[in-house]
């Protein structure tokens, strides 16, 4: 299998792109650490993996809290010795459809802390374990929002633009340590976060949710791309990856 014997950490693994990615990686033979603040969702993902014959362990972590992220990678390092890949998909989307001139500072800070600071903290504490792998891969999930176009939330678009910028900086900084870094920018994907926005848009427009959600992609499609990206077969891939 493509990821046989690989040790892979997936944050945001309780649902959406992170959950689909954890399952895809396990199906390809990886030993997966599933990380999310939603412990029940983590347990569900681990259960799906194990019932299919895969290997997974769950961790409940708030990625905006440095002490928790540090402890996570200390525990993983003690158990596994190294990590071959980290796919950081944890994030939130709040403040959708709120104009900038009435956007609350609390919401701005919360989105930036979880999405952007969380990406920084996961990168900071995973790099030593990725370096031990000899050929590590760090994938940060940004978004088409904030990189190629707008967003329903000024905080979300700004945070994801920042995550993309972080991936570019780290790609150059970590190349000499044999760590390949990618920013991945999904488009419109039918995740729980996205569907909450679709519901608000449907309510505001008078259209049905099904109409508003038409054309959204399946998280599994992105998960399949990500599981390839952390494989040895993707060693020649560089830079930002855009998906539907």
Q: With both helix axes pointing from N to C terminus, report the angle between 39-51 and 16-27 in degrees, rounded to the nearest 10.
A: 30
Give the integer Cα–Cα distance in Å for 25 and 82: 17
Q: What is the DSSP string of 92-154?
A: ---STT--GGG--HHHHHHHHIIIIIHHHHHHHHHHHHHHHTSSEEEEEE--SBTTTB--S-H
List average pLDDT for each run of 10 residues in the chain, which is 244 residues long: 95 97 98 98 98 97 98 96 97 95 98 98 98 97 90 95 98 98 93 80 76 82 98 96 92
pTM of the complete model: 0.95
Verify whether residue 156 is a known catalytic residue: yes
Task: For residue 164, give the nearest of 190, 183, 189 by alpha carbon.
Answer: 183
Q: What is the pLDDT of residue 118?
A: 98
Task: List the catalytic residue out of 156, 162, 197, 234.
Answer: 156
- φ/ψ of 139, rounded to 5, equals -120, 125
CATH class for the domain made up of 7-190+218-242: alpha beta
pLDDT score, position 191:
87
């Amino acid at each position: 299998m493509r990821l046989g014997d690989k040790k892979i950490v997936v944050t945001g693994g309780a649902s959406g792109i992170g959950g689909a990615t954890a399952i895809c990686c396990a199906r390809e033979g990886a030993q997966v650490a599933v990380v999310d603040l939603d412990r029940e969702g983590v347990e569900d993902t681990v259960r799906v993996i194990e019932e299919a014959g895969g290997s997974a362990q769950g961790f409940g972590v708030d990625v905006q809290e440095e002490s928790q992220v540090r402890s996570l990678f200390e525990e993983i390092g003690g158990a596994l010795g190294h990590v071959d890949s980290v796919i950081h998909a944890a994030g939130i989307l709040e403040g959708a459809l709120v104009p900038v001139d009435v956007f609350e500072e609390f919401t701005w800070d919360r989105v930036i802390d979880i999405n952007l600071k969380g990406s920084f903290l996961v990168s900071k504490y995973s790099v030593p374990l990725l370096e031990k792998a000899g050929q590590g891969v760090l994938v940060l999930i940004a978004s088409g929002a904030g990189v190629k176009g707008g967003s329903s939330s000024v905080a979300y678009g700004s945070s994801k633009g920042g995550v993309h910028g972080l991936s570019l900086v780290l790609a150059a900084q970590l190349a000499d340590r044999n760590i390949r870094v990618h920013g991945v920018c999904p488009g419109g994907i039918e995740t729980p976060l996205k569907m909450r926005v679709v519901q608000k848009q449907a309510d505001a427009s008078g259209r049905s949710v099904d109409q508003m959600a038409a054309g959204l992609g399946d998280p599994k499609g992105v998960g399949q791309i990500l599981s390839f990206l952390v494989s040895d077969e993707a060693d020649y891939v560089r830079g930002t990856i855009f998906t539907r």
